[in-house]
Amino acid sequence: MSDLEEFLAGERLDDVVLFVSDTALDADSRLRNVGDERENGVVVVADGERGRSAFEAGTGMDVMEFTKEAMETTGEIDETLDGATCPAEGEDDETTHEVEFVFAFAEGQNEDVGGLYAEGDVIHAYAHCSCGENFSRKWIAGE
């Protein structure tokens, strides 16, 4: 099982995942050496602190501010964490919508909280589109 597969199964609760698209990533970026190349970018699985630092260095955004804003809008983020569909797509035919990056973490099952969290470990994913829209999705790990 790859690091990403383990993360998506809820087996790496201390790690985060960062996807950066080719459109937002320099050709000689260090992320290309430490991550897994995808058709449209690079996925990196890293321990939480290192991953958050990499996110902030690579995007210029504070991760907490980004996730807080992204939680306000629900959208479709691929369960492989290497793509998404912007919820603003189709609102304006002249605007380009390409996911630039995705940040994700997993939260352990917590029956006391209830809802989705009582059902199992939860994947929290947050995406940023080239149009400026930030959005999120969460789901039960392994589903």
The rounded average pLDDT for each run of 10 residues, N- to C-terminus, in the chain (143 residues) is: 94 95 80 84 92 84 94 96 92 84 95 93 97 96 88
Beta bridge partners of 112: none
Residue type, 11: E
Distance CA 57, CA 21 (A): 15
Could you identify the residue written with the tokens 């950066």?
20
Structure token pair of residue 105:
């973490």
| pLDDT given for residue 37 in this prediction | 87
Backbone angles phi and psi of 5, in degrees to 5: -60, -40
Distance CA 127, CA 20 (A): 10
Structure letter (DSSP) for residue 143: -
pTM for this one? 0.92
